[in-house]
A and B are shown apart, each in its own frame.
Chain A
Amino acid sequence: MISRRHLLQTAGAAGALAGLPSFVRAQGAGPMLTPGVPSGVATYATMATLPGKKPLIRLADRPPNYESPLEYLRTPITPNDQFFVRYHLADIPEVKVETYRVKVGGDAANGQAELTFDDLKKFPAVEVVAVNQCSGNRRGLSQPHVAGVEWGYGAMGCARWKGARLKDILDKVGVKKECIEVGFNGADGPAVDKTPDFIKSIPTWKAIDPETIIAYEMNGQPLPHFNGFPARLIVPGWTGTYWMKHLTTIDARTQPQGGFWMNPAYRIPVNKFPVVNRFLTQENATSTPITEIVVNSLITSHRDGAIVKPGKVTVSGLAWDGGYGVRRVEVSTDGGKSWSDAKLGEDLGKYAFRSWSFDLNAKRGKNTVMVNATNAIGQTQVSQLIFNPAGYHNNVMQSITLNA
């Protein structure tokens, strides 16, 4: 069933818009959009409120694709009600805890199991703070533009996830040494049965990583419906496509997972990005699955074109990567000629957003501010877009203008 009974309530209550500039109420999402997304987005997109959420940028409501405005990304932990929402398929059931089941098996499993929600909670509980970033985050900024959901900066968030290790669950049924991948399905499905169901897999080495978990808590609360209630897969360091929501099936496999969502979807050209951890059983001569998040940063204290007072201005934001950890964030106020270290905030773990701040001296007129993050293995952001047909991995250094 297409279940949207109380899914789509447009923003209206002034109270629900607290924290956003008042003009948003009058003008819709236009001012909330990231500069550079296709101009068609501004012709229809408004802020809209899903149940349990604050107003988000509504790019699409069936299937639901809602982006966090920049103002929600000022803290290293993104509150649940401000976290972005991304679905591929429109048939999204409201899963009940009482009837929820996860089936564990597959041709590379020695046995089978069917776990209830309570069963998941009986495994040792593990916490990991990790960024969930949509593979297509910043697709809307690709030049030339490419087809797809035209995300700006906000198809990402970071939460403290708590749940059971996938490894412990796999150990319960026993996994053969021939297991090369573990596949996953969730409760959401397509509107027509010929549309491929959203099924994904990860390599066994990533599946048994002690920080790959089935999460039933997000920031100390049950997962919001639109973020995968009651339980979803957490694959720290890897893009959101693998983080199966409303998880229903765990499939230990001796053969590579097939299907549209593994190939041709969610692929990057081989040898184009500096990726360390590849998904080799899915790689071919020309393309490979997107895997780890590339090092990146974002100024979240100010929007491009913001008006500031001359003198000391504190610019701040976030930096993150695929799990090596952010080592350094640098800011340039002279168009990239010279760079100075920003002050890093609390380290919440190698998969988390790292906050940073930088004091600059704004002069009257235009002030440009650029930011560049470096991770623990020396990877930095790029100054020129590495174009690819799906618009993935855009970590071009951001540059904004402050008007003093």
Chain B
Amino acid sequence: MRTFALAAAVVLLASAALAQEQEIKLKPGAGLDKVEGNCAACHTLAYIPMNSPFLDAKGWDAEVTKMIKAYGAPIEDADAKAIAEYLKSNYGP
């Protein structure tokens, strides 16, 4: 299991079986689907409310960039932009 597609598939398959994993209900808003579709492949969405409401626009941009550049998250440019906008709009100070 060393590809993103497989990892994502496992997460999706697992989400039904692993009903015990905490469900994190993020605020509704434009881009939420991109957040759920990308970020949740590698980690719980809890990291978003956890790091709020103090990260400002620059801070959330830096987090999205870190996920892609440092952690190798395979996120399309357009999705990355939508994710950053969602985080800034909904989880900023």
Contact = CB atoms under 8 A, between A and B. Distances in A.
The judgment on whether A and B are partners is: yes
Interface of A: 1-2, 4-5, 7-10, 38-41, 43-46, 48, 58-63, 90-91, 144-145, 147-150, 190-196, 260, 264
B81 to A, nearest CB: 19
A42 B20 CA distance: 20
Contacts of B89: none
Q: How large is the interface on B (under 10, 10 to 19, 20 to 34, 35 or more residues)?
A: 35 or more
Contacts of A9: 20
B4 A192 contact: yes
Interface string B40-74: 01111011111111110001001100000011111
B18 interface: yes
Given A147-B59, A150-B50, A194 B72 contact: yes
A192 B43 CA distance: 11
A38 B10 CA distance: 32
A195 B42 contact: yes
B26 to A, nearest CB: 10
B72 A60 contact: no
Given A192-B3, A195-B42, A60 B21 contact: no
A2 B50 contact: no
Q: Chain A contact residues: over half helix, strand or loop, or mixed?
A: loop
Given A63-B43, A191-B41, A193-B3, A58 B49 contact: no
Contact of B10 (A1, A5, A39, A46): A1
A2 B11 contact: yes
Nearest to B47: A60
Closest 8 CB pairs of A and B: A194-B72, A40-B52, A8-B20, A145-B54, A193-B2, A40-B49, A191-B42, A62-B44
Nearest to A4: B18
A232 to B, nearest CB: 22
Contacts of B70: 196, 260, 264
With a 10 A CB-CB cut-off, give which of A7, A10, A91, A195 has the most chain B CB atoms.
Answer: A195
B62 to A, nearest CB: 8
A91 B1 contact: yes
Contacts of B43: 60, 62-63, 90, 191
Interface string B10-21: 110010001011
Contacts of B24: 44
A147 B63 contact: yes
A63 B40 CA distance: 11
